Each structure stands twice: as structure tokens, then as C-alpha cells.
């Protein structure tokens, strides 16, 4: 009898496909069966009908050597960050995180005390954001530490923001400032290289507290959601900036079947980020566009709402949506028009691996 499972002899390397194309290929033929599934794959969180409210579900996997390096990442900070980056996905849907479930695979390199330190960071994040840690699973790992966090949130149906809601001429906005987390990573990697070359050398991190905190202890921007709500503004589309501004802009444009124009001079960058970027001989907009891990919110609003948000200090208008589908461009400081490319974080690219 012929097997129902036919082996495919063709081989395509995952590094040639990339994370986002892989997700599209694996989920292209999935069909929604249950009426309670409002939104499946393709946004920051899945949406499930649950009475008068809708349930939001998202998951992130953090792998040692790929997503974090324990040479310079304290376990308590790692636990905090693992939880908060999931909360940020719920923020991007304009919802509230309620519970998390933790999956952990760990090698015998780690002691009980080490894992208690990791969980102290997770608990701190839960306390900070009013989230319950309700369960999980642990198992052994042949190498390193693997952390899987599933977050469950909720929102009223009319409050949820998707990636696909933008309209022509909508203003493209970001919260906070960009590029700091990447420059914090660059600094840590530089000092790691110095230490490996000469273990007697002490890390030179003085004066860089801001960029280091942005890398090691990010925060989810629920405060911005509150400010928008007070101003009477609901974003027409939204996503969080985990993979770099350029990548997220392209996601919003693709989901909404639109293009966009942004302006380099409008991208908010902290002075500490600019100073360190110049020290590394980088144009400051490069880490802002391609660095990732800022966990700020990228969203669109109707032009009629501009007056309502213009005095919100934590929000910057960086461009607008256009009908030129697929054309995502930036007007540079010297008035050149250049295409935006998704050069930020991709979990399957070979060059993402940390040494």
C-alpha cells in the first residue's frame, strides 16, 4: 500500500526563504473552521470571539544564541523582556494582556537559582502590567535555553486594531523614539568582542544607560494607547516595531493594499542614539529603520484626527499612506527618494545568529 505521506525530495534552505515568507507558505492553505475564530494568522495576535469580548492570543519563542546572549543579558532582565515583548503584541491590537503561559526548555548548565532569577523577571513584568502567570511546561534541552511565552489578552470588538485598516492619505505615526535598542545591542556586542580578545578589559558602558535599557528592558506602550483614547483617536491600523521600522511599514502597506511615503527628518531618534550611531559611523536613521526591538507602536490615523494628536509628545507623524500599492519610499534629508527594504530582524536568516 502506498503511503499517504509522500516525501518531497526538493530542498529549499530556510535561510533562503526568510521568516515572513515561511509563515506565508506554511499557512497559505489553512482554512478557518470555527465561527469563533475572528482573525487567524497574519496579525500581531489571533482574535477569538468570547462572548461580548474578543480574546487575543500571541506567542513568541526566544532561543539562546539567536535572540539573546547570556554573556551580557542578566537572567532577570531576560525574563522581564520575554514577557513584555508579548504584551507589546497585545498593545499592537489595542487590547489588554490578561494571562501568560510559559514554556521552558533548559540544559543542565542552569541551576535552580538561575531559573528562579529568570522567573523573578517574568513575575516583575506581570506585576507591572497586571498580568497573571497561569501555567506552562518545562523540559530538558540538549543545549542552551529556550523560552516560549503565550499571552492571552482581550478587547471589545470595536476597539481592536488590525494591520489592514489603513486608508489613502492616512497619516503614518510612531510612538517614542527608534533605533536605541539596536545601538544598545551594538554596544554590548562591541564590549563582548573586546572582552573575548582580552578578558582583563572591563566593559566600557558609561553614559549609555538609555540605549542599554532599551535593549535589555523594553516596555510595551500601553501609555500611548491611553493617550490616544483620551484624545478620542482610534488608529485605523497598527503594528508594534519588533523587526525594524522599514519591515513594519511594509507589513502595514501590504495588509492594507497601499503604499506610503515617509520622511527621514520626521523619524524620532533620541540624542543618545544619534551620538552612539555616529560613534559607530552609522547614519542614525539606519538603526531606526532596520534595527528592531524598539517595541514602539507604528500606526495610521485619519488626517482629520491630526489636531487631536499633534500635542501628544510621545507620538510623531512620519509620513502618509498612498494609493501606489507596493511603493514604500522615504524622502531623505537631502530630498532623494529611496525605496524602503525589509532589512531588519528575520529569525531564519543566517546572519542573525549571535556568536
Residues 115 and 178 in one domain: no
| 263: CATH | 3.90.650.10
Residues 154 and 205 in one domain: no
Q: How far apart (Å, rounded) are the C-alpha atoms in residues 241 and 296?
A: 5
Q: Which residues contact 2 (CB under 8 A, 6 or more apart)?
A: none
Q: How far apart (Å, rounded) are the C-alpha atoms in residues 311 and 279?
A: 32
Three-state secondary structure readout of 149-174: EEEEEEECHHHCCCCCCCCCCCEEEE
Residues 122 and 229 in one domain: no
Adjacent-strand bridge partners of 138: 104
pLDDT tens digits, one per residue of 45-99: 556 566 688 889 899 999 999 899 999 999 999 999 999 999 999 999 999 998 8
SS3 188: helix
pLDDT band at 213 (very low <50, low <70, confident <90, very high): very high
Cβ pair 326, 249 in contact under 8 A: no
In a domain, 355, yes or no: no
| 115: CATH | 3.30.1330.10
Domain of 326, in residue numbers: 171-349
Q: How far apart (Å, rounded) are the C-alpha atoms in residues 297 and 294?
A: 9
Residues 141 and 179 in one domain: no
Last residue of one domain, picked from the residues 159, 194, 216: 159
Residues 205 and 113 in one domain: no
Q: Which residues contact 136 (CB under 8 A, 6 or more apart)?
A: 101, 102, 103, 104
Residues 132 and 215 in one domain: no
> Could you tell me the pTM of the whole model?
0.84
Using alpha carbons only, what angle is made at residue 300 by residues 296 and 306, rounded to the nearest 5 degrees?
105
Distances 212 to 47, 188, 271, 276, 293 between C-alpha atoms, Å: 34, 8, 14, 11, 12
Number of domain units in the chain = 2
Residues 133 and 203 in one domain: no
Q: Which residues contact 131 (CB under 8 A, 6 or more apart)?
A: 83, 87, 97, 98, 99, 100, 125, 151
CB atoms within 10 A of CB 204: 11
Cell of 169: 492619505
pLDDT tens digits, one per residue of 281-339: 999 999 999 999 999 999 999 999 999 999 999 999 999 999 998 899 999 999 999 99
Residues 198 and 322 in one domain: yes
Residues 184 and 265 in one domain: yes
Cβ pair 256, 330 in contact under 8 A: no
Residues 35 and 103 in one domain: yes
Last residue of one domain, picked from the residues 132, 159, 186: 159
In a domain, 204, yes or no: yes
pLDDT tens digits, one per residue of 158-212: 999 999 999 999 999 999 999 999 999 999 999 999 999 988 888 889 999 999 9
Find the mean pLDDT for residues 130-135: 86
Residues 185 and 142 in one domain: no
Residues 124 and 185 in one domain: no
Last residue of one domain, picked from the residues 118, 138, 159: 159
In a domain, 216, yes or no: yes
CA atoms within 13 Å, Cβ hemisphere of 142: 0
Amino acid at each position: 500500500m502506498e503511503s499517504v505521506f509522500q516525501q518531497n525530495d526538493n530542498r529549499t534552505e530556510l535561510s533562503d526563504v526568510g521568516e515572513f515568507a515561511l509563515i506565508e507558505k506554511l499557512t497559505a492553505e489553512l482554512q478557518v473552521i470555527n465561527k469563533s475564530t475572528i482573525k487567524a494568522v497574519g496579525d500581531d495576535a489571533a482574535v477569538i470571539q468570547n462572548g461580548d469580548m474578543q480574546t487575543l492570543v500571541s506567542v513568541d519563542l526566544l532561543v539562546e544564541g539567536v535572540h539573546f546572549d547570556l554573556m551580557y543579558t542578566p537572567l532577570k532582565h531576560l525574563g522581564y523582556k520575554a514577557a513584555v515583548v508579548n504584551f507589546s503584541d497585545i498593545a499592537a491590537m489595542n487590547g489588554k494582556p490578561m494571562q501568560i503561559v510559559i514554556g521552558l526548555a533548559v540544559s543542565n548548565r542552569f541551576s535552580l537559582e538561575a531559573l528562579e532569577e529568570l522567573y523573578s523577571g517574568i513575575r516583575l513584568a506581570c506585576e507591572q502590567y497586571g498580568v497573571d502567570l497561569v501555567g506552562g511546561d518545562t523540559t530538558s534541552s540538549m543545549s542552551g535555553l529556550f523560552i516560549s511565552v503565550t499571552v492571552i489578552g482581550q478587547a471589545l470588538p470595536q476597539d481592536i486594531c488590525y494591520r489592514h485598516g489603513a486608508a489613502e492619505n492616512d497619516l503614518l505615526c510612531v510612538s517614542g523614539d527608534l533605533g536605541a535598542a539596536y545601538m544598545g545591542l551594538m554596544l554590548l556586542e562591541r564590549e563582548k568582542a573586546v572582552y573575548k580578545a582580552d578578558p582583563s578589559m572591563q566593559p566600557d558602558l558609561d553614559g549609555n544607560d538609555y540605549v542599554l535599557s532599551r535593549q535589555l528592558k523594553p516596555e510595551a506602550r500601553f501609555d500611548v494607547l491611553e493617550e490616544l483614547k483620551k484624545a478620542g483617536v482610534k488608529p485605523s491600523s497598527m503594528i508594534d516595531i519588533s523587526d525594524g521600522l522599514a519591515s513594519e511599514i511594509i507589513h502595514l502597506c501590504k495588509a492594507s493594499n497601499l503604499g506610503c511615503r515617509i520622511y527621514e527628518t520626521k523619524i524620532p531618534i533620541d540624542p543618545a542614539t544619534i551620538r552612539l550611531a555616529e560613534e559607530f559611523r552609522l547614519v542614525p536613521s539606519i538603526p531606526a529603520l532596520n534595527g528592531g526591538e524598539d517595541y514602539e507602536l507604528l500606526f495610521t490615523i485619519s488626517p482629520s484626527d491630526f489636531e487631536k494628536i499633534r500635542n501628544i509628545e510621545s507620538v510623531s507623524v512620519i509620513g502618509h499612506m498612498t494609493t501606489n500599492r507596493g511603493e514604500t519610499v522615504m524622502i531623505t534629508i537631502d530630498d532623494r527618494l529611496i525605496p524602503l527594504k525589509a532589512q531588519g530582524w528575520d529569525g531564519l536568516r543566517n546572519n542573525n545568529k549571535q556568536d
